[in-house]
Amino acid sequence: MTALNLKQGSGIRLTVPCERYQLNCGAELLVSPRPGAPVTAFELHLKGGPSQDPVGKEGTAYLTSALLAQGTETWSEEELASQLEPMGAQIIGSASGLSARVEGKEWKSLAAILADMVLRPTFPTDRVRLQKQRLQHRLLVEQENPQAQAGLAFRRLIYGQHWMGRAAYGSLESVTKIDARSLRAHHKRAWVASRATIAVCGDVDGKQVKRLFDKLFSDWEPGKELAPRKPVFPKRGVRVEVHKADRRQVHLFLGHLGVRRADPDYPALVVLDHILGTGPGFTNRIARRLRDELGLAYTVHASIASSAGVSPGTFTAYIGTSPENVSTALEGFLREMRRIQEEPVTASELELVKSYLVGSFPMGYERAARRASYLISSRIHRFPDDYLETLPRAFEAVTPEDIQRAAKKHLHPGACCLSASGAVSKRELKSALR
């Protein structure tokens, strides 16, 4: 079986085969073989991610991953780079793990390097200092970015003190407190096999991958599994925050707590998004009204389904506009939210969006990295094996009544948070919301 199988029928159906294994160390291994593939991709996901940052040292998980390639007990940073470059390989860290890709048949060599980085990083003091300086520079630049500040404030309004309400890479204050010792302690505690899922996609044999990984990761400590915790967020309600900035443009983020990926209304909400605020110009009501007709901004969008995860995402509407147009923009957002609740969408809108969603659905799945990422997502969200076949059919089955019902249930125009950055006052914003 190939790694990508397209079938014609009612729309396009797509499958990404997956072989599941349990490594001897306790990590889960997902393999999607694709004979003849020019690239092999790896995705290593750790449960917990930034939620495991020590209090006051937010950004620890992010820095830990970023520093895994800065030196191991076997190789220095320069030696690691000299091995990766001839292979055409790259390894990228995130707060929740690592992703890697390699061209040709060098996947075994890349796997050995990846295992060494995971099991035996050294966190050299000079490299930790340099990486912190880079991150602090980024945070300083971000402090002067009104849009970034408004976006961070919006997350705080929605999620409160929960870790989802902050940036995964921490703050200037928290990053200052992180040192090599705290990174080593975090790695020992959090980078354990029982929390890991590894996906491999490419011209590989699943059983061969399993044998090699059992050997490479034989010393990986199982560690403690993470116990599930129910997240606690602030109740929905009107909350406003302003970041003062002497700029001609005001950045507005309007919205509220959203939905989980497992919500049965997810397919209807994806279709709703494309009609309301994320679709191509011919269906996107908010862009057509605020951008094309009123000329309030070039960039404007709204979505609830795109951020849905294991925990609820957000409904987020964004626009960058001039101070004199703030009230008009907010009125336009709220008007379109209420209209999609009160009036059924038109048959032409619905058919255009369905054709676009189903027709574009397979795009990107030929890439090994996309398939590896999907395998991780399918594990996190417990997707059924035929999920990529059933989801396009679910889009096709959405009716105007489904969209109206989902809009009434999941959109809350009367209980929105609003974050703004620019030459605008909190009093003005509260008045505009009313």
171-204, pLDDT tens digit by residue? 999 999 999 999 999 999 999 999 999 999 999 9
pLDDT above 90 covers a percentage of the chain that reads 86
196 SS3 class: strand
Rounded alpha-carbon distances, angstroms, from residue 313 to 95, 159, 196, 253: 18, 10, 23, 14
pLDDT above 70 covers a percentage of the chain that reads 96
- pLDDT exceeds cutoff 90 at 166: yes
CA atoms of 354 and 335, how far apart (whole Å): 24
Give the 3-state secondary structure of 35-94.
Answer: CCCCEEEEEEEECCHHHHCCCCCCCHHHHHHHHHHHEECCCEHHHHHHHHHHHCCEEEEE
317 pLDDT band (50/70/90 cuts)? very high
In this predicted structure, what is the pLDDT of residue 7? 42
- pLDDT exceeds cutoff 90 at 215: yes
Q: Which of 35-44, 230-239, 359-368 has the lowest mean pLDDT?
A: 359-368
CA neighbor of 16 nearest in space, from 291, 274, 389: 389
In this predicted structure, what is the pLDDT of residue 282? 66
Task: For residue 397, count other CB atoms closer than 10 A to its CB.
Answer: 14
Q: Which of 110-114, 209-213, 246-250, 284-288 has the lowest mean pLDDT?
A: 246-250
In this predicted structure, what is the pLDDT of residue 247? 84
Helix (H) or strand (E) holding 326: helix 326-342
pLDDT tens across 47-64, in order? Answer: 999 999 999 999 999 999
CA atoms of 133 and 175, how far apart (whole Å): 9
- pLDDT exceeds cutoff 50 at 2: no
CATH superfamily placement of domain 5-216:
Metalloenzyme, LuxS/M16 peptidase-like (3.30.830.10)
CA atoms of 369 and 361, how far apart (whole Å): 16
Q: Which residues pair with 207 in a beta bridge?
A: none
What Rg, from alpha-carbon coordinates, does the chain have?
23
Q: What is the CATH number of domain 239-433?
A: 3.30.830.10
- pLDDT exceeds cutoff 50 at 6: no
Residue-level length of the chain: 434
**Which token pair is 81?**
């780079």
Would you kindly state where each structural domain of the chain is located, as residue ranges?
A: 5-216, 239-433
405 SS3 class: helix
Q: What does the pLDDT average to over 397-419?
A: 97
Task: Work out the mean pLDDT of the chain and round it to a whole number.
Answer: 93
pLDDT tens across 257-294, in order? Answer: 999 999 999 999 999 999 999 976 667 999 999 999 99
In this predicted structure, what is the pLDDT of residue 13? 61
The type of residue at 205 is D
219 pLDDT band (50/70/90 cuts)? very high
- pLDDT exceeds cutoff 60 at 8: no
- pLDDT exceeds cutoff 90 at 4: no
CA atoms of 96 and 50, how far apart (whole Å): 7
In this predicted structure, what is the pLDDT of residue 281? 62
Query: pTM of whole model > 0.85?
Result: yes
Do domains 5-216 and 239-433 share one topology? The answer is yes
- pLDDT exceeds cutoff 60 at 10: no
Name the burial class of residue 288, with classes exposed (0-12), middle (13-18) and buried (19+) by CB atoms within 10 angstroms of its CB: middle
Task: For residue 18, count other CB atoms closer than 10 A to its CB.
Answer: 19
